[in-house]
């Protein structure tokens, strides 16, 4: 998948201010809603919280990938953000997360969702890329790191 088709300058954020899992999810959904036309925030929150109730999407190495599926969207929406402080996201390695990738996709179309998650997950396995992401000083730099990391 070409991340340039999904990630734009408006889909990245540095300096999430939430200090809990729920606050981070709400902030990320808010960013998706801000960038999408006619998206229902309550519906997106429900999709993500329902998925999170099944199993935490906190991964390892300071990464969490909260996501949800709902037929209230017609295409994949994604955002990438970095938190100012580590947040307990019930990660597999029991460590807090600072790098967050959220996707909302149609329940009826799993292909783009899986492709996006596979691409981003592959990038985030790289120690050097995670360090650059955490050191990014602004959203333009963060986006550039992801897009160049894909090359």
67 annotated active-site: yes
Q: Contact 106/69 with Cβ under 8 angstroms?
A: yes
What gap in Å lies between CA 70 and CA 52, rounded to an integer? 14
Catalytic residue, candidates 67, 77, 109, 113: 67
Query: DSSP for 89-125?
Result: ---TTS--EEEEEEEEE-TT--HHHHHHHHHHHHHHT
Residues belonging to the active site: 67
């Amino acid at each position: 998948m070409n991340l340039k088709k999904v990630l734009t300058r408006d889909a990245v954020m540095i300096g999430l201010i939430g200090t809990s899992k729920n606050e981070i999810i709400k902030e990320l959904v808010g960013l998706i809603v801000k960038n999408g036309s006619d998206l229902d925030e309550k519906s997106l929150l429900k999709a993500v919280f329902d998925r999170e109730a099944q199993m935490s999407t906190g991964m390892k190495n300071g990464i969490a990938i909260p996501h949800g599926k709902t037929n209230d969207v017609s295409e994949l929406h994604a955002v990438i953000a970095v938190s100012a402080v580590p947040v307990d996201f019930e990660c597999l390695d029991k460590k807090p997360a600072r790098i967050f990738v959220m996707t909302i996709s149609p329940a009826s179309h799993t292909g783009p969702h899986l492709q996006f998650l596979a691409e981003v997950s592959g990038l985030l396995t790289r120690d050097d890329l995670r360090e650059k992401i955490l050191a990014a000083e602004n959203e333009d730099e963060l986006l550039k790191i992801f897009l160049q990391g894909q090359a």
